[in-house]
Structure 1
Amino acid sequence: MIHQACFHCGQAIPEGDLILKPIEGVTRPFCCHGCASVCEVIYEAGMQSFYQRTPDGELLSPPPPPNKEVDFYDYDEVQSQYVGDLSSRREITLMSEAIHCAACVWLIEHTMAKVDGVLLAAVNFTNKQIKIRWNNDKLKLSDIIKKLNSIGYDATPYDATSSQNAYKKANRDLLYRLGFAGFAMMNVMWFSIALYSGAAEDQEFRHYFHWLMLVVATVTLAYSGQPFLKGAYTSLKARSVGMDVSISLGMLTTYFYSMWVTLHPEHVGEVYFDTLIDFMFLLLIGRYFEAISKNKAVDASRRLMELQPKVARLSQDGEQKIVPVRSLLKGQDIVVKPGDKFPVDGKVVSGQGMVNEAMLSGESREITKSLGDTVSAGTLNIDGNLLVEVVAILQDTKLGKIVHLVEEAQGSKAPIQCTADKIMPWFVTVTITLAVMSFAYWFFNAGIETAIMTGTAVLIITCPCAFGLATPMAIAVASGVSARFGILIKNGAVLETLNGVDHFVFDKTGTLTLGEMRVTDFVWADPAMAQNKALEQANLLALASVEHQSEHSLAVAVARAVKERYQLNAQDWLAVEAFKALPGKGVQGTIDATLWQIGTAKWLDSLALTLPEVLRIEADFHAQQGHTAIWAACAGQVIGVLFLEDALRPEANELIRRLKAKGKQVTLLSGDLEVVAQRVADALGGMQVIAEVLPEDKNQVIRDLQARGQRVAMIGDGINDAPALVRADVGIALGSGTDVSMDSADIVLMNSDLMAVNTAVELSARTLRTVKQNIASSIAYNIIMVPLAMAGMLTPLMAAITMPLSSLVVIGNAARIRNFFSVKANKRRGGES
């Protein structure tokens, strides 16, 4: 029996586990002493807002705490919400809205790399996330957060809800500063008009307006200019240089020169308070639009997570009640009505209906779900009233894992980006050097005012942000949008690698073929057995009972064929003892003290079992037809052979043709007989064949190809393909395959459509082309604009207008990758996914 929910974690409290503890004078229920202790720590730290709830009853994550209040993150009970494995080596994703330029990435990664106990620090520029891997025995999480705070980055554990709230808060703050700068700009403009209209000719009026402008500029610089000044301070404090250093130098130089003119009215120079406020306003506009554009370009993972409902209908004691998904336990039952999305991964307990799984597979066709079938969170229940047993919730669901992998891909770095990161600190240093040189030249040739304006323009015009955004934006957009169309890219760097792959190696069964083997014939060593129906049924039932223990596609096909032939039920299978599966060879097991061995001819031959000549002749004949043979032995004697066939995937032929047209080498890698594999290769238009390869040898085949200087992509779906998928430069797994193969691959085709391989190749080329375009545009911008600024042909105001535009061009170009999956683009490529 289930009681009330835990006050801390929201989990239902099983009978007998209820713990009552007073919190601020009110007795609260807890499911364990750990939750009770953590709750006390949170209240003592003044962090009661942790328990604020959304309208649907879901617990919110803790808000960003001050430095002194992060110690409660050291508790395992708290970390369990953000850390998957609570062993000594832990990994967490933090978020910080203070990350705003590529120099921030360099600063954080280099600072954290020097901290003892930190194993990895990788910054996702586009999502403002920091992935930290650390040794918890050496270092506390709170110390990591405090270290980040010390260099100017308020970091908190990443949560989708808190991330969105932080994003909105940061944008709102930026809008306030932008609005204030705009108001100040309008007022200072009137003062400037008055001065230019003749007031400057009167010394008293001139001095009066200068003072008014000084007051407005001082307040505006302190408030609206704070993001730039603060960024520059933390950067210099960490002995680094970022873009904010250049901008702040330009602003302060202009401000202090204008102040000096104001304090010395006898000087005939001009003040540039209006210019200072104008380019602060324009820089803030650029930063605001950049933040919005960047968020729209990479919000695919957020949209994916929004597909998962936050509440569910819990069925308990014959009644239904709405509860937060977070509070559900494995094994509980929920009701999913027609038109609802499944809130969890589960198994249908009762009911039948059609389910649309387009958000996972990329295909809109509906699938019938009935008793025993699995359903996934986020998919749509079309017309059935289903009772579903909870198997996984939130981040443990298939959807949750996809979102995590998409975020990982968006935060990963391609080799070309690593080069850009190394250049970044030098870029800003060169910028400052050029500004100083420009200032010195114009100071001696045109005076202090021209020197200040020119030097400031150089500082403002240079934009390493565009250079730093070039790669991560393109990878983030490509990874996010492809996931929505059934191509899950687990590592963004693979997009660059895939473009250079010149050899594609395909597993046969389940990859180039449908993987649904069908038994076509039974042939017995003793012809009389076929005449004795009872004896034949007994033998088929025995060997099928052994095969039933295996998950191999051939074994499943044999068990299914016998089950359908004799209308067997689950209780009809014979008891099998000492079952053993030998990858690439076969299976064996004992039934009533009799040993049954079912597998390849090569395996039985290695066991010194005699293969009857009549069966060899029959096997050779079927091999010519492309059939696969499974040999059966009972008590050390070969008694028969079963023949199976597997139809080719309808899209396989077109895929092979397209890859060849791109100049790629294609190889069929299979454990089947050479003649069987060759027949499949011929049916697909011809390709190199490597057959009769044991699972452990597939890895060696890939290694040998790589040793010849080839970049190899492996496409497979089975457990035996996992080592080869890992060894290959790019591993591609079908979503219909095993979990092991999908875990081992770099790219997962959720819709199991082979044409998606071609789509991924073209997406890779498109992404790399976009990256190169972005880098070229940012370099071209600086090559053109910096000399113009040094020549005195650009004012600081013009520099403030063009600088953010270069970043927006990069973001806009990266966002165009979304058009890759448009209906028009799909038709042009031939209609594949």
Structure 2
Amino acid sequence: MTQHCFHCGQAIPQGDLILKPIQGEERAFCCHGCASVCEVIYEAGMQSFYQRTPDGELLSPPPPPNKDAGFFDYDEVQSQYVSDLGDRREITLMSEAIHCAACVWLIEHTMAKMDGILLASVNFTNKQIKIRWDNNQIKLSEIIKKLNSIGYDATPYDPSASEAAYRKANRDLLYRLGFAGFAMMNVMWFSVALYSGAAEDQEYRNYFHWLQFVIATVTLAYSGKPFFKGAWTSLRSKSVGMDVSISLGMLTTYAYSCWVTMHPENVGDVYFDTLIDFIFLLLIGRYLEAISKNKAVDASRRLMDLQPRVARKVTAGEVEVVPVRTLLPGTQILVKPGDKFPVDGIIVEGQSMVNESMLSGESREISKSVGAQVSAGTLNVDGTLTVEVKSILQDTRLGRIVHMVEEAQGSKAPIQCTADKIMPWFVTVTITLAVFSFTYWFFNAGIEFAIMTGTAVLIITCPCAFGLATPMAIAVASGISARHGILVKNGAVLETLNGIEHFVFDKTGTLTKGQMKLMDFELVSGLDEKAVMQSVASLEHQSEHSLATALTESIKSQYQLSTQDWLKVDEFKTHPGKGVYGLISSDEIRVGTAKWFQELGIDLPQHLKELALKHAQLAQTAVWVAKGQEVQGVLFLEDEIRAEAQRLIERLKAKGKKVTLLSGDQTVVAERVAAKLGGMEVIAEVLPEDKNNVIRELQSQGQQVAMVGDGVNDAPALVRANVGIALGSGTDVSMESADIVLINNDISAVDTAVELSARTLRTIKQNIASSIAYNIIMVPLAMGGALTPLIAAITMPLSSLVVIGNAARIRRFFSPKAIAARQGEKD
């Protein structure tokens, strides 16, 4: 039977077979190049490459790659994980060896001492390391080697590789747990025999002690290996981690039991059964903790699973199934009814209804035709579409959302700083208390009781619960909120938002729908109405402003014009916040605000000014038209106020928040809109570049300010504010500028985000309080001899599980019952 290469899939010629073990399993290769590449892929934790390659697809045998960490120094490799390949780069690494808060401290401090490292931040929850470095001073391979030297085998983070590594680590933990459980059951029979009378016979007593010794030694070496490995890593780096105290407790108990076994003439009991029991219980706790953490923070993984891994590529009329990673911008793909879009792109052929609920939160299906944009992960409902690829994988809108959720889950809130400062001293204090307890009870109750007491103290005190208190709550809140249309870019924002006292809202597109309509107009007598409107539409067609779009569409519909009717415009120029200018048939045409016209010395007819004032009372915006220095007329547009805006303003005011409307529109129009919304402070006729100064002025008065805008024109103000909240479809500008993006465009989600921040902060405080209370109660009991090592082994992981479980309760904030209750309050 013909063998096929494990890497490239091609048939292996007779006599060219190369066998190599890959992760303990022998694989067949056609050449040394394929074998080397396969080794590098597996060593880098990127074996999901083979899972993503469709069955039957053949690769070309590659040349032998570099098998060490230097492989990651190439820009071609880094481009898969690093968005900007400039001098300053940023990457997320993954290491399954991270398992306690002391690991976080060790990695961050070790990295901070390296020249060229600009930032090192460890996410304890999902075992990721965010590194920002100067590529001129240090290479990525040096960073990875340094992490390896202190015991953390780090590889660039890939979602599927992360899942595979998680499963592998859990499987290994489960094997060790099973072995410890089997050993515990066997040793238990020997203990029963000894307690039933066998201990009275010296020969039987020695026989059972030696049997227990053999089983305990093997169990300690195999099942206890994760604890010893963690302890050795800590000691090598001249730090003290949680595993040091656990290992000390196990070794102390084991050493004393060995001494009693090897000196049968001395009266004493062995504690091999106790040793195996608490190894088993500690492994149960660690396994349950790993599962609970994974379930609590799996929101980003679920989001990424929405994006297909393969696509139907169209080449010269032929359709073939290929991995998404092989697609290039400009490539055309076919998307059939019922399929999810694998890429972000533009429809070039076909028409269909598209369900975008996974991104927008809107269950309503949207009609899409040629020229419309589609997003990866959304569902094509009923038509076959040909789509031109614009971006793939992490560059898609969904990919950017997933990346920002992971960034938020890994970020640190201000309240976590205190915990980080306490952590390095925690284990040192634990060992000191254990030594004190051992010494006291050695002189007052004998060596056996002293050893059991000291071991109980070593095991009972664990910093994990304290270290998990903040990151678990932030990770759960960030993940679950993203699935409900609230994208929190930075976890620290959830704490900051709770202290915001002043909310500033942009008017157009935020409190209003941003869909302006031409309601009325008035031209100077004697002018050709259609000619004036045609010139206005031809000029505004060049602009991307919402007012320009509204004018163009209204005029096109009212006068039955098409794009072929647009007049040629030369020297087009946009004046932000003022208007537009262009030459049409050598005539200077301007469309803009009255204030801009007055600055240019253009006289506004009195009767048109009075008419504009009347329309302003109706919250209609006036747009003036001039040819040269002569006004031709004024157009009136109106923007519908969002139905949920008034309820939002009422709820914020009920919470004692100050609310301000910030607009570039006329003061009269802005005040009218504010009155319709129940009244608020108004700052009007502000240019886009001046909104930033308004926010700065409010902050200079000592106020914590949140800016809510559309994320494009308001970008500087969003960045300046303590918390920037952007509405919109998740464009690059909004995502870069704002701290929170409301993907579903529902402004009422501002209030939901405020309530979520309060809930998250409350959960963090509960977690910290519970972890402190646990240590205050349990440590004195252990020091007093009231707790055995077995009880300590049970309660230690339980403290972490309590913190994880309490953080997971944040998910109930978005349960149907909780949402219905909040909506009932709003109504």
The one-letter amino acid paired with 2:583 is: T
CA deviation profile, 1:297-356 (whole Å, cap 9, x unmatched): 101100100001111111222222211111112112211111111111111112211111
CA deviation profile, 1:450-484 (whole Å, cap 9, x unmatched): 11111110110112101111111111111111111
Conserved? CA contact 2:335–2:386, under 8 Å: yes
Structure 2: how far apart are the matches of 1:60 and 1:792? 66
Displacement of 1:544 in angstroms is: 1.7
After superposition, the Cα gap between the structure-2 partners of 1:593 and 1:647, relative to the gap in structure 1 and judged at 3 Å, is: same
User: 1:72 corresponds to which residue?
Assistant: 71
Aligned residue among 685, 690, 694 for 1:701: 694
The one-letter amino acid paired with 1:144 is: I
Displacement of 1:718 in angstroms is: 4.5
After superposition, the Cα gap between the structure-2 partners of 1:517 and 1:736, relative to the gap in structure 1 and judged at 3 Å, is: farther
Structure 1: how far apart are the matches of 2:730 and 2:436? 62
Conserved? CA contact 2:347–2:385, under 8 Å: yes
Displacement of 1:245 in angstroms is: 1.0
User: 2:441 corresponds to which residue?
Assistant: 442
Structure 2: how far apart are the matches of 1:742 and 1:182? 50
Residue segments in structure 1 that go unaligned for 5+ positions in a row: 1-6, 11-23, 27-38, 530-534
Displacement of 1:60 in angstroms is: 14
Displacement of 1:9 in angstroms is: 12
The one-letter amino acid paired with 2:494 is: L
Structure 1: how far apart are the matches of 2:196 and 2:420? 49
1:528 aligns with 2:526: yes
User: 2:286 corresponds to which residue?
Assistant: 287
Displacement of 1:691 in angstroms is: 0.9
Structure 1: how far apart are the matches of 2:426 and 2:272? 28
Structure 1: how far apart are the matches of 2:320 and 2:731? 36
Conserved? CA contact 2:7–2:34, under 8 Å: no
Equivalent residue runs for 1:285-324 within 5 Å = 285-324=284-323
Conserved? CA contact 1:583–1:720, under 8 Å: no
Conserved? CA contact 2:405–2:488, under 8 Å: yes
CA deviation profile, 1:65-114 (whole Å, cap 9, x unmatched): x9972221111111111111111111111100000011111110110011
Displacement of 1:257 in angstroms is: 1.3
Structure 1: how far apart are the matches of 2:69 and 2:704? 47
Equivalent residue runs for 1:457-536 within 5 Å = 457-524=456-523, 526-529=524-527, 535-536=528-529
1:53 aligns with 2:50: yes
CA deviation profile, 1:414-455 (whole Å, cap 9, x unmatched): 011122111111111111111111111111111111111111
CA deviation profile, 1:344-387 (whole Å, cap 9, x unmatched): 11111122111111100112111111111111110111111111
1:786 aligns with 2:779: yes
Match of 1:384, SS? coil
Which of structure 1's runs of 4+ aligned residues deviate more than 4 A? Answer: 7-10, 39-42, 48-52, 58-61
Conserved? CA contact 1:674–1:692, under 8 Å: yes
User: 2:605 corresponds to which residue?
Assistant: 612
Structure 2: how far apart are the matches of 1:592 and 1:157? 59
Structure 2: how far apart are the matches of 1:213 and 1:77? 56
User: 2:639 corresponds to which residue?
Assistant: 646
Q: Which deviates more from structure 2 when the two are superposed, residues 324-333 or residues 773-782? A: 324-333
1:575 aligns with 2:568: yes
Conserved? CA contact 1:54–1:60, under 8 Å: no
After superposition, the Cα gap between the structure-2 partners of 1:668 and 1:8, relative to the gap in structure 1 and judged at 3 Å, is: farther
After superposition, the Cα gap between the structure-2 partners of 1:332 and 1:67, relative to the gap in structure 1 and judged at 3 Å, is: closer
Aligned residue among 542, 545, 548 for 1:552: 545
TM-score, reference length from structure 2: 0.93
Aligned residue among 618, 627, 630 for 2:623: 630
The one-letter amino acid paired with 1:227 is: P
User: 1:732 corresponds to which residue?
Assistant: 725
CA deviation profile, 1:548-580 (whole Å, cap 9, x unmatched): 111111111111111112222222222222222
Q: Which deviates more from structure 2 when the two are superposed, residues 79-88 or residues 788-797? A: 79-88
Equivalent residue runs for 1:181-580 within 5 Å = 181-524=180-523, 526-529=524-527, 535-580=528-573
Conserved? CA contact 1:678–1:689, under 8 Å: yes
Match of 1:329, SS? coil
CA deviation profile, 1:585-636 (whole Å, cap 9, x unmatched): 1111222222212111111111111112121111111111111111112112
The one-letter amino acid paired with 1:554 is: L
Conserved? CA contact 2:518–2:551, under 8 Å: yes
Identity %: 74
CA deviation profile, 1:101-129 (whole Å, cap 9, x unmatched): 11111110110011111111111111111
CA deviation profile, 1:804-828 (whole Å, cap 9, x unmatched): 0111111111111111111100111
Q: How many residues in Structure 1 have an aligned counterpart in Structure 2? A: 792
User: 2:753 corresponds to which residue?
Assistant: 760
Structure 2: how far apart are the matches of 1:744 and 1:708? 23
Structure 2: how far apart are the matches of 1:220 and 1:505? 63
Structure 2: how far apart are the matches of 1:564 and 1:382? 30
Conserved? CA contact 1:548–1:559, under 8 Å: yes
Conserved? CA contact 1:735–1:742, under 8 Å: no
Conserved? CA contact 1:503–1:665, under 8 Å: yes
Conserved? CA contact 2:8–2:58, under 8 Å: no
Q: Which deviates more from structure 2 when the two are superposed, residues 663-672 or residues 712-721? A: 712-721
Conserved? CA contact 1:286–1:804, under 8 Å: yes
After superposition, the Cα gap between the structure-2 partners of 1:372 and 1:587, relative to the gap in structure 1 and judged at 3 Å, is: same
Conserved? CA contact 2:7–2:35, under 8 Å: no
Match of 1:415, SS? coil
Match of 2:415, SS? helix
After superposition, the Cα gap between the structure-2 partners of 1:292 and 1:422, relative to the gap in structure 1 and judged at 3 Å, is: same
Structure 2: how far apart are the matches of 1:512 and 1:127? 38
CA deviation profile, 1:722-743 (whole Å, cap 9, x unmatched): 0110011110001247542332
The one-letter amino acid paired with 2:482 is: A
After superposition, the Cα gap between the structure-2 partners of 1:737 and 1:323, relative to the gap in structure 1 and judged at 3 Å, is: closer
Match of 1:123, SS? strand
Taking only aligned residues, the RMSD between alpha carbons, in angstroms, comes to: 2.2
Structure 2: how far apart are the matches of 1:443 and 1:519? 90
Aligned residue among 768, 777, 793 for 1:775: 768
User: 2:679 corresponds to which residue?
Assistant: 686
Conserved? CA contact 1:42–1:72, under 8 Å: no
After superposition, the Cα gap between the structure-2 partners of 1:9 and 1:733, relative to the gap in structure 1 and judged at 3 Å, is: farther
Conserved? CA contact 2:253–2:452, under 8 Å: yes
Displacement of 1:253 in angstroms is: 1.0
Structure 2: how far apart are the matches of 1:268 and 1:377? 72
Conserved? CA contact 2:711–2:728, under 8 Å: no
Q: Which deviates more from structure 2 when the two are superposed, residues 559-568 or residues 475-484? A: 559-568
CA deviation profile, 1:775-806 (whole Å, cap 9, x unmatched): 11111111111111011000000000111011
Conserved? CA contact 1:185–1:277, under 8 Å: yes
Aligned residue among 688, 691, 703 for 1:710: 703
After superposition, the Cα gap between the structure-2 partners of 1:55 and 1:622, relative to the gap in structure 1 and judged at 3 Å, is: closer
Match of 1:733, SS? strand
Structure 2: how far apart are the matches of 1:47 and 1:667? 57
1:589 aligns with 2:586: no
The one-letter amino acid paired with 1:768 is: L
CA deviation profile, 1:697-724 (whole Å, cap 9, x unmatched): 1111111111122111110005221011
Displacement of 1:47 in angstroms is: 2.7
Structure 2: how far apart are the matches of 1:241 and 1:362? 47
Displacement of 1:42 in angstroms is: 8.5
Conserved? CA contact 1:45–1:69, under 8 Å: no
TM-score, reference length from structure 1: 0.92
User: 2:114 corresponds to which residue?
Assistant: 115
Conserved? CA contact 1:67–1:146, under 8 Å: no
Structure 2: how far apart are the matches of 1:74 and 1:41? 21
